[in-house]
Amino acid sequence: MKKILFLVPFVFFAASLMAQTEEDSIKATLQKYLDGSSYNNQELIEAAFYEEADLFLSKKDQELWVLSPKEYSDLFKNREKGKFNGRVGKILMVDYANNIACAKAEILIPKRNLKFIDIFLLKKLEGEWKIISKAATQIE
């Protein structure tokens, strides 16, 4: 009985480490998107997404603007790769269960006085977290 009571805390500790590792992996995927879009790095942006993902974005005078990850990354192709473009991203929330996750991020562009909220759906595919859908809205 003493051995069982001794092992219980280690089981919970191991489970919490595993949980933290999954959350860290999800955040790493999101960070690829945030860094790629802040530093004009198309490869990083595309690496964060499942290639058949849909991005539902905000655009002036258009209720729904849907892009693929490639179309989205192409928005950054004529900018200097690696140069900070003024976009500041921050992960606000991550929640997951088994191999699915949702997350929320804030994107600020101070020079243009813009603020966006992004909501992500992620799925663990072949051992790697990928964004399978993204919706964004501009906050006035």
The pLDDT of residue 6 is 53
Listing DSSP states for 1-42 in one string gives -HHHHHHHHHHHHHHHHHHHHHHHHHHHHHHHHHHHHHTT-H
User: Which position has the token pair 């929330």?
Assistant: 93
**87 with 43: CB under 8 angstroms?**
no
> Which of 89, 92, 91 lies closest to 108 in space, CA to CA?
89
Q: Which residues of the chain have pLDDT under 50?
A: 8, 10-12, 17
CATH architecture of the domain 2-139 equals Roll (3.10)
The pLDDT of residue 4 is 56
The pLDDT of residue 59 is 84
**48 with 128: CB under 8 angstroms?**
no
CA 60/CA 37 separation, integer angstroms: 19
Give CA separation, 136 vs 34, 103, 105, in Å.
13, 12, 9
The pLDDT of residue 62 is 87
Number of neighbouring beta carbons within 10 Å of residue 129: 24
Number of neighbouring beta carbons within 10 Å of residue 79: 13
The pLDDT of residue 85 is 97
Listing DSSP states for 79-109 in one string gives S-TTS--S-EEEEEEEEEETTEEEEEEEEEE
